[in-house]
Amino acid sequence: MFKASEGTTPPSVTMATDEFKYHICCMGAGYVGGPTMAVIAQRCPHIRVCVVDISQTQIDAWNTDDLPIYEPGLLEVVKESRGRNLFFSTDIDSEIKRADMVFISVNTPTKTTGIGAGKAANIKNCELCARKIAEVADTPKVVVEKSTVPVRTAEAVRRVLATNDRGVKFQVLSNPEFLAEGTAMPDLQEPSRVLIGGMQTDAGLAAIQELVDVYSNWVPKDRILATNTWSSELSKLVANAFLAQRVSSINSISALCEATDADCSEVSRALGYDPRIGNKFLNASVGFGGSCFQKDVLNLVYICESTGLPEVAEYWNQVIVMNDHQKARFTQLMVKRMFNTITGKKIAVLGFAFKKDTGDTRETPAVFVCKALLEEQARVQVYDPQVKRSQMFIEFDYTCGVNKDNTPKLEESIVTCEDAYSAADGAHALAILTEWDEFKTLDYQRIYNNMAKPAFVFDGRGVVDIEVLRKIGFEVYCIGKSRPKYSLDSK
């Protein structure tokens, strides 16, 4: 395979498909497949990259400027290469046939039924991709697991690929993705590391080198780590488990800070100066969300249980227990502080996405908090700059099983608003559930003037300046910070 650095002329806009000497196909045009391939296409103009998906709607959106996902900087990168060497298509068979390398970047959600339900990852989509490749391939291919999968999934992928009846040779690599949503573009353009696992045979090592040659078009060599397949697959699960564990650890301490008048951000600051601990990922919050932390930790728990390691499984399960506790603790605090009843009260929810700079709502803490507020018969007025109303209802149903069939008043109890000010209008409390930058600079005096009194703020993201808001007149509660003392305090 050749590289741009070897003096190849970058292709012109009009380069025909068969003029490209190397073809990549990526199965799955989601949060990972789309951005990852956009960056490969941008950094390797000599490679033709095609992202395929079974969803026509998803592919159609990738072919417009209204991309199916919101990610800062993504549209610019897509526009640079789309139609040149980056394509989005539902013609899966043709693109697999043409490809030298096929990435599998499909969703691997937690199983909801059957063996391992609620814990094990469902790799059905990965297997279906492998079956499709086996069915249509008539030339050798390197198949790359980009999806996060249970350790030893490559073994299954290999066996499925071996069912190809034309004697085609495949190599299977593990190349897990470490991007975080909201920062996907810088994470892909300057990755902390690229991990590639493969068989330690001549053919396996050659396949690893083929993928190294793609990444080394822009990633420094010392950040490309080659290893064996199983270590690579497992490292991805462990990386997410360590990150999630860190959030649960600091969240557990946030509860202790609130009980002792210590300040959790000061504790984080003190910890962060120790280079062995590091200062990242120490922000206490209403709980972690996102499509992967819970899924991957539970998958690790399941793998430990299935390999006869119940103590190890229980250790990691506590990360989830603490996260569930943190989400529940937040709403319990709201109800308690608002005189033990929020029935009929209006609560402004600021932020619905699982973190800032994304429109992704999968496993967002906001859905759990809103569900609890609805159970208390509050009226919820939500504002999020990137989440559409329809998406919120999809999330209620998918994550919590709450829909208009079992909750007839759902649609009228959740009001979606154009901005934070209209959400707060007439509200008894603000609940800040996503750390969008714009929530830091809101005109809180204006908000206070239009709220019912006493006006409460429950900050689940450490966004507001507590002292400024208290001076305005708000009663402010912030995760990990000392609480104002009122007669309701038990201490």
Ligand X SMILES: NC(=O)C1=CN([C@@H]2O[C@H](COP(=O)(O)OP(=O)(O)OC[C@H]3O[C@@H](n4cnc5c(N)ncnc54)[C@H](O)[C@@H]3O)[C@@H](O)[C@H]2O)C=CC1
Ligand Y SMILES: O=C(O)[C@H]1O[C@H](OP(=O)(O)OP(=O)(O)OC[C@H]2O[C@@H](n3ccc(=O)[nH]c3=O)[C@H](O)[C@@H]2O)[C@H](O)[C@@H](O)[C@@H]1O
b/e map of 441-479 (b: 16 or more CB within 10 Å)?
A: ebebeebbeebeeebbbbbbbbbbebeebeebebbbbbb
User: Per CB under 6 A, does 357 bind ligand Y?
Assistant: no
**399: CB partners within 8 A, 6+ apart:** 362, 363, 364, 367, 368
Strand partners for 197: 174, 227
Looking at 15-23, 40-48, 276-284, 368-376, which segment touches ligand Y (CB under 6 A)? 276-284
Looking at 71, 95, 100, 181, which residue binds ligand X (CB under 6 A)?
181
| Cα–Cα distance, 43 to 29 (Å, whole number) | 19
Q: Which does 288 bind (CB under 5 to 8 A by kind): ligand Y, ligand X, none?
A: ligand Y
Q: Please, what is the Cα angle at 105 between 304 and 33, to 5 degrees? A: 135
Residue 180 touching ligand Y (CB under 6 A): yes
Based on CB atoms, which residue is closest to ligand Y, 161 or 292?
Answer: 292
User: Which one of the listed residues 292, 304, 370, 478 is annotated catalytic?
Assistant: 292
Q: Is 122 in the site for ligand X (CB under 6 A)?
A: no
304 is catalytic: no
Cα separation, 400 vs 145, whole angstroms = 30
Residues 6 or more apart whose CB falls under 8 angstroms from that of 185 comprise: 35, 39, 71, 72, 73, 74, 77
From the list ligand X, ligand Y, none, partner contacted by residue 347 (C-beta under 5 to 8 A by kind): none
Task: Consult the annotation and say whether 31 binds a ligand.
Answer: yes
- Residue 106 annotated as part of some ligand binding site: yes
30: partner contacted, choices ligand Y, ligand X, none (Cβ within 5-8 A by kind): ligand X
Coil/strand/helix, residue 377 = coil
Site string for ligand Y, 142-161 (x = CB under 6 A): ------x-------------
Determine the 3-state secondary structure of 18 from DSSP.
helix
Q: CA-CA distance, 235 to 69, in Å (whole number)?
A: 27
Per-residue binding letters, 210-249, with ligand Y (x by CB under 6 A):
------------------------------x--x---x--
* Among 330, 354, 368, 383, interactor with ligand Y by CB under 6 A: 354
Residue 82 DSSP one-character state: B
Catalytic residues: 292
Binding site for ligand X (CB under 6 A): 27-33, 52-55, 58, 105-108, 125, 128-129, 147-148, 177, 179, 181, 291-292
Please give the annotated binding residues, written as ranges.
28-33, 53, 106-110, 147-148, 181, 292-295, 362
